[in-house]
Structure 1
Amino acid sequence: MKLYIKYMVSTRCKMIVKEELKKLGLHFILVDLGVVDIMENITDVQRQSLKVALLADGLELMDDKRAMLIEKIKNVIVEMVHYAEEMPKINFSHFLAEKLSYDYTYLANLFSEIQGTTIEQFIISHKVERIKELIIYDELNITEIAYKMNYSSVAHLSSQFKKVTGLSPSHFKGLKNKRRSPIEDI
């Protein structure tokens, strides 16, 4: 049985969910970003207990089909931007439509309606946070970051970074207090 969990965006979130499932005596096959596959059928009492426990940790067990799809979209984006070794070289709209088996126009309209922002803006926000992280780590130069994040040029990366942060990547690199936002807050 699959369960969908909102705001589940990190390894720490996975650990919290695994612990809560164990407390309820539920056995999981898979705990991934936003989705849990458990062996048993969950009772209403267990579902309510899990819902309350997850809420206490800032996570939310979802029931609504549209909300579940929005979370799937977010999780694909978070996984692609923050955890994939390399960004897909194909157009992201094709990637997302293929990954979720839905028409991209439907996904984009639903996302905009529910979230109040576009999928593109959501991706850009996450890419900028990832770029900040890579700048702070100081392992790659801006050209390498642009390539890793699948930008057509350093100028494109710099332009998008400045639009979101108000700073150029090089100015950001020179700041003493580099501020990043937690993935959950984007």
Structure 2
Amino acid sequence: MRTLFIKNMVCNRCILVVQHELEKLGIAVNSVKLGEITLKKDLTTKERAAMENALIPLGFQLIDDKKSRIIEKIKNVIIDLVHHQDNDAKTNLSDILSNVLHHDYNYLSNLFSEIEGTTIEKYFIAQKVERVKELLVYDELSLSEIAFRLNYSSVAYLSNQFKKVTGLTTSHFKQIREDKRKPLDKV
């Protein structure tokens, strides 16, 4: 079995798109996860080139070097944690990353900062703020429910972090989004 790593896979739709492309190419896979494909057999040079040519126009890229694979894995763990899990665990991000990637957190943090030009913490906060925006737009949860779901210690802390990152209060963001929407009968 062979594992390939792919850059820019960030959601379940990405997984479906990559699976579909591999099926079209006749490439047999065991599994497709965020940023990772496990193949049933090694690819020929021709198959690999065909796969790259199919994935690049869709915004995906094969990752060959070890450092880039680690960075992509860090991003995928954070994205999964923030966007795809009801994050009720009170475990530190540093512990989660160290356990999943089997590296010391200081190494991961320094590598991420060196390659991405930002810290893991800032990336994590940016992902959480994007999730808050998404949940505000859905308008199904109260701000305190959103704060609880994303492990904020308080609504005030969520609100302060949101304003620091976006420059807007959560209520102003919600108002702007509503102002841009038209009722279906007015479209």
TM over 0.5: yes
Give me the TM-score of the superposition, normalised by structure 1.
0.92
Measured against aligned partners, the alpha-carbon deviations of 1:58-80 in whole angstroms (never above 9, x if no partner) come to 10011111101100000000111
| Equivalence for 1:26 | 27
What letter matches 2:147 in structure 1? A
1:177 deviates by 3.4
Structure 1 stretch displaced more, 122-131 or 48-57: 48-57
**Distance of aligned partners of 1:72 and 1:21 in 2 relative to their CA distance in 1, 3 Å threshold:** same
SS at match of 2:32: strand
**Distance of aligned partners of 1:23 and 1:128 in 2 relative to their CA distance in 1, 3 Å threshold:** same
| Equivalence for 2:65 | 64
Q: Percent same amino acid among aligned pairs?
A: 51
| Equivalence for 1:177 | 180
1:4 deviates by 0.4
Structure 1: stretches of 5+ with no match in the other structure: 179-186
What letter matches 1:174 in structure 2? Q
Structure 1 stretch displaced more, 115-124 or 84-93: 84-93
What letter matches 1:141 in structure 2? S
Structure 2: stretches of 5+ with no match in the other structure: 182-187
The question of whether the paired residues in 2 share the 8 Å contact of 1:81 and 1:87 is answered with no
The question of whether the paired residues in 2 share the 8 Å contact of 1:4 and 1:36 is answered with yes
| Equivalence for 1:108 | 109
| Equivalence for 1:41 | 42
Mapped to 2, the partners of 1:83 and 1:114 lie a distance apart of 25
Number of residue pairs matched by the alignment: 178
Give me the TM-score of the superposition, normalised by structure 2.
0.91
| Equivalence for 1:53 | 54
Q: RMSD of the TM alignment (CA)?
A: 1.2
1:132 equivalent to 2:133? Answer yes
The question of whether the paired residues in 1 share the 8 Å contact of 2:163 and 2:170 is answered with yes
| Equivalence for 1:98 | 99
Q: Which has the larger radius of gyration?
A: 2
What letter matches 2:149 in structure 1? K
